[in-house]
């Protein structure tokens, strides 16, 4: 297995941290045992947790105003895979990489697949892109894609999605994610009902072409790049569409795609109950689709989302098989550090949700003891499970402290020399 970082460095750094970990782990173990919980089984839960990283997340992101490139930016999909391999080596919970086409279009899919597999990585959900125009593209997506009024534009968008399926098959992917920027900036610009009907018709063709065993994920979004209405604006519309399409279609929840203060954990519970939860694009936000690091702004919301997911997991809800992906834009941090710590924040919320005393919670709910029910959840959320996360990483050959090892590895400085800065200035998320 090709490793970017020297395994000896990881064990040496872990040796420095081992004592505090063992001490804190033993203390937490006693604390949890008093609550009837076995810390060993929680380490197994942490070690089994998987989240895919977005290929577009290892480059420095930007906004519509500007993008300030970092050093050693990956210049192509192979360098993106190298960076994803470092994240996996240290964080251990991220073997899946979600590609975006055409940003990651390979010349040779087989070569790319073996390059990734030789680094312990596989390709998770494919992502199509009909929200920007490519060089030499025949029809513009300025006024939409799968819902465009012009059949030729819709055709072009369908063809692009079919291409993503073909490519994904060669790469070993098993699902396809469709997010479209289709929408309007002014009242009257779109015929709301007809636009949605056109979108569903176009997507039916993509659905029909799904390879065996694949799933289709559609992603709703309240606004941006359209600023008055979007065709797939919320979970209700998404749910209607996936019901219309069929059993292999599911609704994907990107945390940043909702109006402020929307109860996202409730949307998650609904989609679980309706058997249509695709999974997630995890990130965090204060205002809009800020694509900030997961758990950085609203960690309690993240915990409450995992509380719904773990409740369904424990109850073995039929068809419950959510795909977890990060979808973030790293404008001011080292993307590798942000993705490692964000993956850890998801494992943290997942383990804390497994600490919730669900029998006690059910009793409080039955007796409408609102305060005790809240305190039952808060007890889990306020439990510092870091020793469990670090132990799981260490036992899986990763780092007790991924950021510390990454910084002492000098990887960023090394790739900065190997990857001369590109003259690509300008704005935009990637």
User: Any alpha helices (H) in 37-133, and if so which ranges?
Assistant: 39-48, 77-91, 109-117
Among 92, 281, 354, 412, binds ligand LRH (CB under 6 A): 281
* 115 versus 282: smaller Cβ distance to ligand LRH: 282
SS3 349: helix
Rounded to a whole number of angstroms, the minimum distance from the CB of residue 128 to ligand LRH is 8
Provide the minimum distance between the beta carbon of 289 and ligand LRH in the complex, in angstroms, as a whole number: 5
Residues 6+ apart with CB under 8 A from 108: none
- 56 interacts with, out of ligand LRH, Mn ion, none, CB within 5 to 8 A per kind: ligand LRH
| Residue from 219, 293, 337, 401 binding ligand LRH (CB under 6 A) | 219
Please list every residue from 295 through 314 that binds ligand LRH, using CB under 6 A: none
CB closer to ligand LRH, 230 vs 307:
230
Site for Mn ion in 268-307 (CB under 5 A): 281
State the nearest-atom distance from the C-beta of 220 to ligand LRH, in Å: 10
Tell me the per-residue interface mask from 313 to 352 with ligand LRH, x by CB under 6 A, - otherwise: --------------x-------------------------
Nearest-angstrom CA–CA distance, 289 and 294: 12
Distance of CA 214 to the CA centre of its chain: 18
Q: How many CA atoms, within 13 angstroms, populate the side-chain half-sphere of residue 226? A: 26
Question: Could you tell me the smallest distance in angstroms from the CB atom of residue 345 to Mn ion?
Answer: 17
Q: Rounded to 5 degrees, what are φ and ψ at 39?
A: -60, -30
Write down the least CB distance from residue 327 to Mn ion, Å: 4
Q: What is the CA radius of gyration of the chain?
A: 22
Rounded-to-integer distance, Cα 43 and Cα 137, Å: 50
The DSSP H or E segment spanning 344 is helix 335-355
**What tokens does 295 get?**
């758990």
Q: Which one, 73 or 254, has the nearer CB to Mn ion?
A: 254
* Contact between residue 272 and residue 320 where contact means Cβ atoms under 8 Å apart: yes
For the bound state, the minimum distance from the C-beta of residue 232 to ligand LRH, rounded and expressed in Å, comes to 11
Q: Using CB under 6 A as the criterion, which residues of the chain lie in contact with ligand LRH when the complex forms? A: 56, 127, 179, 219, 221, 254, 281, 289, 327
């Amino acid at each position: 297995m090709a490793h970017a970082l020297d395994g000896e460095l990881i064990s040496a750094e872990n040796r420095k941290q081992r004592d505090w970990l063992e001490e804190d782990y033993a203390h937490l173990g006693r604390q949890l045992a008093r609550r009837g919980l076995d810390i060993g089984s929680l380490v197994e839960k942490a070690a089994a947790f998987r989240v895919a990283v977005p290929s577009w997340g290892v480059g420095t992101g930007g906004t519509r105003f500007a993008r300030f490139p970092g050093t050693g930016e990956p210049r192509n999909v192979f360098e993106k895979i190298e960076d994803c391999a470092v994240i996996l080596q240290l964080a251990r919970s991220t073997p899946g990489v979600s590609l975006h086409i055409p940003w990651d279009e390979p010349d040779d899919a087989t070569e790319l697949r073996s390059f990734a597999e030789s680094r312990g990585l596989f390709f998770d959900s494919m992502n199509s892109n009909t929200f920007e125009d490519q060089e030499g593209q025949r029809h513009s997506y300025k006024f939409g894609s799968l819902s465009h009024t012009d059949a030729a534009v819709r055709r072009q968008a369908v063809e692009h999605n079919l291409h993503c399926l073909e490519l994904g098959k060669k790469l070993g992917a098993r699902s396809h994610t469709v997010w479209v920027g289709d929408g309007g900036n002014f009242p009257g610009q779109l015929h709301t009902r007809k636009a949605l009907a056109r979108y569903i018709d176009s997507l039916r063709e993509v659905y029909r072409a799904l390879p065996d065993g694949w799933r289709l994920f559609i992603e709703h979004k309240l606004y941006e790049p359209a600023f008055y209405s979007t065709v797939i604006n919320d979970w209700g519309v998404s749910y209607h569409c996936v019901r219309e399409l069929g059993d292999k279609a599911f609704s994907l929840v990107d945390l940043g795609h909702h109006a402020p203060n929307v109860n996202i954990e409730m949307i998650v519970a609904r989609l679980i109950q309706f058997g249509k939860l695709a999974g997630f694009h995890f990130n965090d936000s204060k205002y809009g689709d800020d694509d900030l690091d997961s758990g950085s702004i609203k960690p309690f919301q993240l915990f409450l989302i995992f509380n719904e997911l773990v409740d369904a997991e424990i109850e073995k809800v039929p068809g419950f098989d959510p795909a977890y992906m990060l979808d973030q834009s790293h404008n001011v941090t080292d993307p590798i550090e942000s993705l490692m710590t964000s993956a850890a924040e998801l494992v943290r919320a997942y383990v804390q949700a497994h600490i919730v005393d669900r029998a006690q919670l059910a009793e409080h709910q039955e007796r409408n003891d609102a305060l005790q029910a809240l305190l039952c959840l808060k007890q889990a959320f306020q439990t510092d499970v870091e020793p469990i996360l670090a132990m799981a990483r260490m036992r899986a050959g990763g780092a007790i402290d991924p950021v510390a090892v990454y910084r002492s590895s000098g990887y960023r400085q090394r790739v900065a020399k190997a990857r001369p800065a590109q003259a690509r200035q300008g704005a935009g998320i990637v």
